[in-house]
Structure 1
Amino acid sequence: MIEENNRVKCDLLKEIDMLNDSIQDDLMFGIVEEREKYYKIRKGIDDQCSELVQRKIKKLERDLVEYKNNTSYSMPRSRPRFWVSEQASCREEEIHNEYPRVSDEVGNLEDFNDYPPLRRSERLWNKGDFQQNQYYSNFQELAVLQLNGEILQQWKEPPIEIYTDFFIFNITNPREVLEGKKPIVKELGPYVYREYRSKVDIVFYENNTVSAISPKSFVFEKDTSVGNPKEETVTVINLPMITMLTMAKQGGIIEEFILSLLSNMQHIHLFQTHTVDELLWGYEDPLLKEFNKLFPQLMPDPHFGLFYGMNGSHDGVYLFHTGYQDYMKFNQIMKWEGKEFLSWWTSDSCNMINGTDGAVFHPFVQKDETLYLFASDLCRSAYVTYEQDMIVEGIKTYRFTVPKQVFQNATENPDNAGFCTPPGNCYPSGLLDVSSCRYGAPLFMSSPHFYMADQKLIDDITGLQPNKEAHETFLDIEPVS
């Protein structure tokens, strides 16, 4: 009897377990089904609101055209209202009597674009003050780097094609230069390369920042170039040799070795001829090769090129502000290579990392703004200021240019005293000594043809023809987005 009862008890427990499993499966199925319904409803609302915001942006652009053209239109006969999105839902909000009613229902958007542009009013205080308009408030919220956001994809993969034109100065009288005569140069190029940029290894942080690296790749564009860089040659100063002579100033065993090496290598001259491709992207230099054999720590790589190692590589890890809660900080660099300040220059202001990476700026750019950007190639931050309105492929833009003060020496612009290295060692205006951030190589940066530089620099070389149209550095910026 006891065994029979135990058997019945076990059977009942099994049936109870089966019922429990069945009930749990039904509950889980119901939860998943309801969750999918909720996600579909939520997605529908989000898509609807996103469409509405995009239509509002288009309408704002039409309103701005009307405002700039000093024209106005009659108002629709309807109660003034404006649609906004809030917490993934669409609702009406009364804000000002000059805003027309957009639609009677959320889903009824067919006639949205039939209304004329909005009338001008005090909601735009002046032509440069956009922030008082609710439209701009909505756009500010969109201009934020966030996971799965619309702006993020364009930030990661810029949709604009970028091309880099290389021009090389060929020294046509190297022997005469050795005799003390003035150099004569001839400009070769352009050698055009399609530049591919992207941002990878993206990581978001809780303090409204995002880190990324920006690898760049260059692909030669034969159709828009003047020649083949692998075949055309150019005569330039022997930069590896000049670099070695600079290192010899340190004295000691390195000075003795370098002088001995130069005396034994009779084929090494002050000027050398290479193909354009070698000069840009690198070649094995015989002098650096010999130095590398004995001092691999000082010279780990015997190759040299103006852009050697930069094709397919990146210039470090950037930490950007996402623009959340402050659209003016959108894409601003907070740190580069883990540092908030540089260490190459001799003043705190010159070592500051300011602005963006130059690829994109905050929305609603004003004409009276000074836009800062950091360029690792220049080893410093710089800035641009408004110059004039432009039309680029039918789009109204603001042209910002690099003012002359950016590269003036300390005599003309005391704020640039920190770029004199060592302190007090200042070069003529228009030159930036970047040897401190180029492993001691005696390299200087300037505008093409010494544009806006000290006139003496231009007079000392025959063949330079600086002019604003060809050699000015500028950015054409669409001010709204």
Structure 2
Amino acid sequence: MRDIASLFGSQYQTIFGGPSPNGAGGSGSGLGGNNSDCCSPLAGGSSTPARRRSVSLGPFRRRIRSEFSLLDYFFHQPKHGRHTRYPNRTFMLMAAGFMFIICGALVHILDPYLLIFKWKLIFQEGSEIFNLWRTPPVDLYIKIYLFNVTNAEDFMNGHAEKMQIEEVGPYVYRELMSHDNITFNDNGTLSTRPHHPLIFQKGLSGKLREDDVFMMPNIALLMYDFDDDFETFFTGESSASVSGLYDTYLGSPDLAQWNGSHCSNIRNASDGTKFVSFIKPDDKLLFFRKSMCRAQILIQNGTDYEVNGLKATKFVFEDNALDNGEFDSRNKCYCRNGNCLPRGLIDVTSCYYGFPIALSYPHFLDADPKVLAHVNGSRPDPKVHRSHFMINPVSGLPLQLSVKFQINMVLEDLSSMAHCEKFSKLVVPALWFEITMPGLPKSLLSRFIFYLKILPFGDQVVKHSLLVLGGILLLVAITKVSLTLSSAYSSAYRISNELRDSLW
């Protein structure tokens, strides 16, 4: 802006013939009051009026320079008519605005909440997530429903064509799940032996008693004999999203009972304690329990759910999961020794110590109708007998789950055995069970609400606040500069008019 002042000075210098602002005549007085010997182009060098010759441009030039020192005004704080060497408020506002915007952009790009959350997901000795996985403080229940044959004598004597079954239960047990004898390995995994003791819940079983059923101890032994199990899980060291998922079972990522990776693979499956984190739309999950003798594929069945204040994605077993190749040729590997059971039944004899057992959904839900040819009393209901999982898509935390399967006795040809020929080649339902977790305990729920709901909200508030505040400060600074420019141009115009009036 000093150039503008110089321009004004140069312009009027040519009119009055005085020294330039930077010339030998001095910079303070312009033409000065004693310029009678100067030549004026306008006056022809001899006839300049005295009033014009006596005009001094010094005060006007100083005013022009003062009004147009915009850079000084912007970068230095005026005080007592002088410019000090520290930034003024406008500059500080603009600097603060840029700083807040840069900080907001860094928060958006780096996402410190996500970085910290991923670090929290990694299993380390003494870490919070590891302690929760080692001994989950949740209420996990096993509900067992037995099938009682009410016309056994008539059926065996040939007086009844079909067995009449009646559901009895539930017998409710609480599962105290834990992972014991943990060893951290160098390859980003840990080794452990699972422990699943069952405690009978008399209060939840109504009038039923544990000793009502002679079959109960044997079934419990078959389903929950984990003494020789040896498992390895990912710690999340290489990828935080897979922490707590299976790496191997009994030393292998494949179950020995099945041929082909489609049927045998359990790697990246969950035992129900924690699923994969950061679930994306259309992602499929794996769920494995020893009692199922396989890893079940889970597909999404809705994302707009909320369980006790936390966002949840609903997962169910994929369609035709218990198909033996009738609809999905990949499932032929579930046929043992080339013998395929009807649709809806999976032969798990190898997992149950040679007992002729097949898994199905409760009450033969989705099974081939011919399975029910010799059974009355089976009432499959998708609303009651369908399994589901409610999983938080960010953490992989199960918020609610209900897993339901039925154990059946698959009898072979018994025609050579007296009084047993009626049971030849029959599928006799023994029981169905539900593994259920109705919800998280309040202490754990409040903790995860803070982690998964409050902290992300705070992160967004901080990010947007920084951007908005930075924008406001920049807007204020720009407004002040605009007003200063407007004032400067107005002053210049006013001074120009005053100078013109003084000269003429």
TM-score under structure 1 length normalisation: 0.57
Of the three residues 367, 373, 376, the one matched with 2:281 is 367
Q: How does 1:6-21 map to 2 (within 5 A)?
A: none
Does the 8 Å CA contact 1:216/1:310 hold for their aligned counterparts?
no
Task: Compute the displacement of 1:320 (Å).
Answer: 0.7
Q: Per-residue deviation at 1:360?
A: 0.7
Native 8 Å contact 1:164 1:193 kept in 2: yes
Please state if 1:358 is matched with 2:272: yes
Measured after TM superposition, the shift of residue 338 of structure 1 is 1.5
User: What does residue 390 of structure 1 align with?
Assistant: 305
Residue 200 (structure 2) aligns with: 220
- Where 2:383 maps in the other structure, the secondary structure is helix
Equivalent pair of 2:192/2:231 in contact (CA under 8 Å): yes
Which residue of structure 1 aligns with residue 341 of structure 2?
A: 427
Q: Do the aligned residues in 1 keep the contact of 2:123 with 2:236 (CA within 8 Å)?
A: yes
Q: Are positions 1:137 and 2:51 aligned together?
A: no
CA gap of 1:160–1:343, structure 2 versus 1, over 3 A, is same
Question: Would the aligned equivalents of 1:323 and 1:329 in 2 still touch at CA under 8 Å?
Answer: yes
Question: Residue 254 of structure 2 aligns with which residue?
Answer: 341
CA contact (8 A) 1:197 1:216 kept: yes
Matched with 1:168 is 146
| Aligned partners of 1:145 and 1:324 also within 8 Å | yes
Native 8 Å contact 1:191 1:227 kept in 2: no
> In structure 1, how many angstroms separate the alpha carbons of the residues matched to 2:128 and 2:194?
19
Higher relative CO (Cα under 8 Å, sequence separation at least 6) belongs to 2
- 8 Å contact from structure 1 (residues 216, 314) kept in 2: no
Separation of aligned partners in 2, 1:227 and 1:140: 48
The reply on whether 1:439 has 2:387 as its aligned counterpart is: no
Q: In structure 2, what residue type is equivalent to 1:96? A: A
Please point out which of 87, 102, 105 is paired with 1:96.
105
- The answer on whether the counterparts of 2:236 and 2:243 sit within 8 Å (CA) in structure 1 is yes
Whether the 8 Å contact between 2:155 and 2:162 is mirrored in structure 1 is: yes
Distance 1:231 1:379, change over 3 A: closer
> What is the Cα deviation at residue 226 of structure 1?
2.8
2: CA distance, partners of 1:377 / 1:94: 52
Residue-pair matches, total: 296
Q: Does 2:181 align with 1:201?
A: yes
Closer, same or farther in 2 for the Cα pair 1:78/1:399, shift >3 Å?
A: farther
Q: What is the CA distance between 1:173 and its match in structure 2? A: 0.8
Mapping for residues 114-153 of structure 1, pairs under 5 Å: 133-153=111-131
Q: Contact 1:321–1:329 at 8 Å: present in 2 too?
A: yes
CA distance in 1, matches of 2:236, 2:199: 33
Greater CA deviation, 202-211 or 171-180?
171-180
1:279 aligned residue: 215
Q: Structure 1: how far apart are the matches of 2:202 and 2:388? A: 26
What per-residue deviation string (whole Å, max 9, x for no partner) do you get for residues 166-187 of structure 1? Answer: 1011111112322261111111
Q: Is the 8 A contact 1:143 1:151 kept in 2?
A: yes
- Are the equivalent residues in 1 in contact too, given 2:200–2:210 (CA < 8 A)? no
**2:370 alignment partner in structure 1:** 456
Paired letter, 1:135: Y
Asked whether 1:380 is paired with 2:316, we answer: no
Matching residue within 390, 407, 419 for 2:322: 407
Q: CA RMSD in A?
A: 2.5
> Following TM superposition, by how much is the alpha carbon of 1:157 offset from its aligned partner in structure 2, in angstroms?
1.2
Equivalent pair of 2:142/2:174 in contact (CA under 8 Å): yes
Describe the shift of the 1:80–1:400 C-alpha distance in structure 2 as closer, same or farther (beyond 3 A): farther
Question: Relative to structure 1, is the Cα distance of residues 78 and 164 closer, same or farther in structure 2, using a 3 angstrom cutoff?
Answer: farther
For 2:171, the equivalent position in structure 1 comes to 191
Q: Is the 8 A contact 1:346 1:422 kept in 2?
A: no
Give the conservation status (yes or no) of the 8 Å contact 2:279–2:394: yes
Which whole-Å deviations, capped at 9, do the CAs of 1:346-376 have from their partners, x for residues lacking one?
A: 3343222232222211222223110012222
* 1:133 shift after superposition: 4.7
Q: Which residue of 2 aligns with 1:27?
A: none
Go from structure 1 to structure 2 and tell me whether the alpha carbon gap of 1:175 and 1:477 turns closer, same or farther (over 3 Å shift): same
Distance (Å, rounded) in 2 between the aligned partners of 1:336 and 1:156 = 17
Tell me the CA shift for residue 138 of structure 1.
Answer: 2.6
Q: In structure 1, give the amino acid aligned to 2:381.
A: N
Q: Where does structure 1 differ by over 3 angstroms across 4 or more consecutive aligned residues?
A: 77-82, 309-315
Give distance in 2, aligned partners of 1:135 and 1:230.
Answer: 49
| Structure 2 counterparts to residues 306-345 of structure 1, below 5 A | 306-308=219-221, 313-314=226-227, 316-345=229-258
Deviation of the 1:418 alpha carbon: 0.5
CA distance in 1 between partners of 2:120 and 2:296 (Å) = 28
Q: Cα deviation per residue 1:156-213 (whole Å; 9 max; x = unaligned)?
A: 1112111111101111111232226111111111111111011110100111110111
- The structural deviation recorded for 1:309 is 6.7
Letter in 1 for 2:296: A
On the 8 A contact 2:121/2:241 being kept in 1, the answer is: no
The residue aligned with 1:159 is 137
Structure richer in helix, relative to its length: 2
Deviations 1:227-264 (A, max 9, x none): 333453xxxxxxxxxxxxxxxxxxxxxxxxxxxxxxxx
Q: Which residue in 2 is equivalent to 1:417? A: 332
Q: In 2 relative to 1, CA 142–455 (structure 1 residues): closer, same or farther, beyond 3 Å?
A: same
* Identity level (%): 29
Question: 1: distance between equivalents of 2:372 and 2:114?
Answer: 47
Displacement of 1:137:
3.1
Identify the residue that residue 391 of structure 2 maps to in structure 1. 477
Larger C-alpha radius of gyration, 1 or 2?
A: 2
| Aligned-partner Cα distance in 2 for 1:398–1:139 | 19
- Where does structure 1 lack aligned partners over 5 or more consecutive residues? 1-76, 83-92, 100-122, 124-131, 233-275, 282-304
